[in-house]
Structure 1
Amino acid sequence: MPDTALPATAQEGARVLAVSDSAAKRVAFLIEHEGDPALMLRLTVSGGGCSGFQYGFSFDAAANEDDHVFEKNGVKVVTDDASLDLLAGSTLDYVEDLMGAAFQIKNPNATASCGCGNSFAA
């Protein structure tokens, strides 16, 4: 089955974050629940977690000067320049299975990750 995740609008060579249809649909649902259509999903990478770096998710109504905005199906995902260094080439996905539902990052830059998938080593 072909990958339905496509690079978003702010393309800079390999510094692209793809957003799957499933992730875009879930973000749209969450934004609708929040009641503010101006919201964007902010994806960050910070030091910590059991593998060295950890992913962070939040909503933001504005992009900062050093942010990169990626769009899929009308949904915007924003990440800062430093986080994009570690996320370049990654895909943001939303997965539902018998164990639960969660956003997942398929990160080609990760050399190791923890069992929960929330932290990684680069």
Structure 2
Amino acid sequence: MTATSLPDTSGATPAPDITISEFGAQKANSILASSGKENAGVRVFIKSGGCSGYQYGMAIDDRELDGDTIVYDRGVKLLVDHMSLPLLRGSEVDFVENMMGGGFTVHNPNATSSCGCGHSFRTDSSQAPDGEGSGGCASH
């Protein structure tokens, strides 16, 4: 039996896989403009590590790789690889400023627990890699 997707005839626009806040877009556009890379975007990815099992990563990237999901939001090109997408689906990239400085962060509805540092998270369907997931934030 083959599964078939029917076209969406409801007229509703599907939600993007990942978004960026207005303030995040302002900061990202400023960084992208000064990067010297034509057609660059913000690559958002997940890697094993951190104190909760997974870590967020971001980089300026002018390459579009096979399997990438590319979303344009608020004038920013966001690139997500096919392995990271399931863990990032529905997330919002933001920029926060506090007494320690500022930086990009990810508001991820898939994270069921996260480290106090905000750079590391875990989902219900994931286990931390062996030797990780315990201790404080010093592991990043």
Q: Which letter does structure 2 place at the counterpart of 1:103?
A: F
Distance 2:75 2:16 in 1: 20
Q: In the alignment, which residue of structure 1 is the partner of 2:79?
A: 78
Displacement of 1:62 in angstroms is: 1.6
Over aligned residue pairs, what C-alpha RMSD do you find?
1.7
Displacement of 1:88 in angstroms is: 0.8
Report if aligned partners of 2:16, 2:71 keep a CA contact under 8 Å in 1. no
Q: In the alignment, which residue of structure 1 is the partner of 2:4?
A: none
Q: In the alignment, which residue of structure 2 is the partner of 1:52?
A: 53
Percent of aligned positions with the same letter in both sequences? 39
Displacement of 1:82 in angstroms is: 1.5
Alpha carbons of structure 1 residues 27 and 15: separation in structure 2 relative to 1, 3 Å:
closer
Aligned length: 111
- Structure with greater strand percent: 1
Moved over 2 A (4+): 12-15
Report if aligned partners of 1:15, 1:84 keep a CA contact under 8 Å in 2. no
1:14-93 alignment, distance < 5 Å: 16-93=17-94
Report if aligned partners of 1:15, 1:85 keep a CA contact under 8 Å in 2. no
TM-score w.r.t. length of structure 2: 0.73
Structure 2: 5+ residue runs without aligned partners? Answer: 1-12, 124-140
Which structure would you say has the larger Rg? Answer: 2
Q: Which letter does structure 1 place at the counterpart of 2:104?
A: F
Distance 1:37 1:75 in 2: 13
TM-score w.r.t. length of structure 1: 0.83
Distance 2:74 2:49 in 1: 32
Displacement of 1:97 in angstroms is: 2.8
